[in-house]
Amino acid sequence: MESLIQRIKEIAAANALGFTITLPDCEYVTSGYVVAMLETQNSFGDEGLRRVIEMASDTTGIMGGWNNDGLFYWDAVYIIQDRKRAIELGKANEQIAIYHIENDDVILI
């Protein structure tokens, strides 16, 4: 787990605005709408990253990170190809926004 944590921190350092990757191979996700899971909301620091890795590994195999005023937040995420379905899932997970990878677009919901 420690080497995976270190690799994700390196990815975060190289992608200050945010990223979405598969686990455990750390390949970038390049399409779809990113919807964060309610269960990992407000995860930050090493403890939050561990929790997100565990949740993502047990569910979708996908996680992301994004920077909010210098603090990286980690999320286990869903990747949804259909916009309407992504918005519905975002609302069900009590999110204020989802992210469309191809358009680099934050969509408030």
Number of folded domains in the chain?
Answer: 1
pLDDT at 105 (0 to 100)? 94
Q: What is the pTM of this model?
A: 0.93
**Alpha-carbon gap, residue 39 to 36, rounded angstroms:** 9
Q: Say if residue 24 is preceded by a cis peptide, omega within 30 of 0.
A: yes
What is the band of 33 on the pLDDT scale with cuts at 50, 70, 90? very high
Q: Which domain holds residue 86?
A: 2-108
What is the band of 50 on the pLDDT scale with cuts at 50, 70, 90? very high
Q: Is the pLDDT assigned to residue 68 strictly greater than 90?
A: no
